Amino acid sequence: MKSKLYRLALAGLPLSLAACASAGPSQELKTARDAYAKTRQSAAQVNPEGTLEAGRALRAAEKAHSDDAGSALERTHAYVATRKSELAMAQAGEARARADREKAQQVYQAELEREVGALHQELQAKQSASDEANRERVGWRQKGGDLVITLSGVVFETGGYELSPDAKTRLDVVIHAAKQNPSRTLTIAGFTDDTGRAETNRELSQKRANAVKAYLEGQGVASSRIVSVGRGESNPVASNDTTEGRAENRRVEITLERPEPSERMPVKGVDPEPMPAPEP
C-alpha cells in the first residue's frame, strides 16, 4: 500500500500546467511549486500520504491559476499548498526522529547487556582478590557471596537527596542486574559526609537511600525486595577534610544479597556450575 502511494506521489503533478494559463504564475504559485518539488525529493518515500496531500493542494492552486491567473484564490491556494508541502516535510522529520530514537534505545540496551555481562566476569575473576585491590574497580566489589555497588562522586549535592542524571544512568545497570537475579534482595544504604550535625546527616542519608529505592521501584524492581537505611556520616571511605573526599563519602551502597541456601537459584557468571547427580 505504501509503495502504491509512493508511486502515485512520484507520478505527481506535471509542471507544464502553467503553460495553459494566459498570465504568468504568481510568486506564491512559484513558491508552492518549488516547495512541492523539494517535498517529492526529500519526503515522498518516508511520508507518501503527506506528499500526496501536498500534491492535491498544489493541483487546486494550478486550477485556480488556469481559471483566473493572479487571482486572490490562486494566491491563497498556492499559499496553502506551500504550507502543505512544509507539513509533509515536518511529518517526515518526525518519522525519522522516531526511528533515530528507537535506534538509540537499542544501542543503550545493548550497552547495558554488555556492562552487566562484563561486571559478572570481573566479579568471578576477583573472587579471591583482596578488598584493597577491589577498591580500584569502578564502584563494584564482592563481599562474600554478595555484590556491593557503590554510587559516589556526583550522586547528590551537599544537603540534597535528588538523584543526578548520571546516578540514574548508573542505577540502570543495578536495575538490570536486579531483574536478572530475581532471588536477590537489595539493601540500599545512604551515607553522607560529616558536614553539619550527625542527626541531620542520618536523616539525610535515609532520604538518599529512599530516593534510590523509589527510583528502582519506579523502574520495575519489586518494593518487597528492597530495604533502604540511612547510615549518616558513619563508615567514611575517604577523608572529610577535602572536597573530593567529602564527595566520595556522599554515596549510596547497594548490596545485592545472596539468598539463603534453601531459597537460592544459581546465578550465571557468579555461582559455580552445579555438579551432575551421581549414577545410581
Q: In what order do the strands lie in the sheet with 226-230?
A: 140-143, 146-151, 252-257, 185-190, 226-230
Q: How far is the CB of 201 from other proteins (least distance, A)?
A: 26
Per-position x/- string for 156-175, each x denoting binding to other proteins as judged by CB under 8 A, each - no binding: ---------xx--xx-xx--
When the beta carbons of 86 and 194 are compared against other proteins, the nearer one is: 86
**Residue 104 contacts other proteins per CB under 8 A:** yes
Residues 9-68 touching other proteins, rule: CB under 8 A, are none
Nearest Cα residue to 184 out of 134, 254, 133: 254
**Residue 8 contacts other proteins per CB under 8 A:** no
Strands 226-230 and 252-257, sheet pairing: unpaired
* Cα distance between residue 28 and residue 234, in whole Å: 74
Helix (H) or strand (E) holding 257: strand 252-257
Q: How far is the CB of 258 from other proteins (least distance, A)?
A: 25
Per-position x/- string for 122-141, each x denoting binding to other proteins as judged by CB under 8 A, each - no binding: ----------------x---
Copy the grid coordinates of residue 103. 535506534
Strands 146-151 and 140-143, sheet pairing: antiparallel
DSSP E strands, 104-225: 140-143, 146-151, 185-190
When the beta carbons of 93 and 259 are compared against other proteins, the nearer one is: 93
**Residue 86 contacts other proteins per CB under 8 A:** yes
| Site residues, other proteins (CB under 8 A) | 72-73, 76-77, 79-80, 83-84, 86-87, 90-91, 93-94, 97-98, 100-101, 104-105, 107-108, 111-112, 114-115, 118, 138, 165-166, 169-170, 172-173
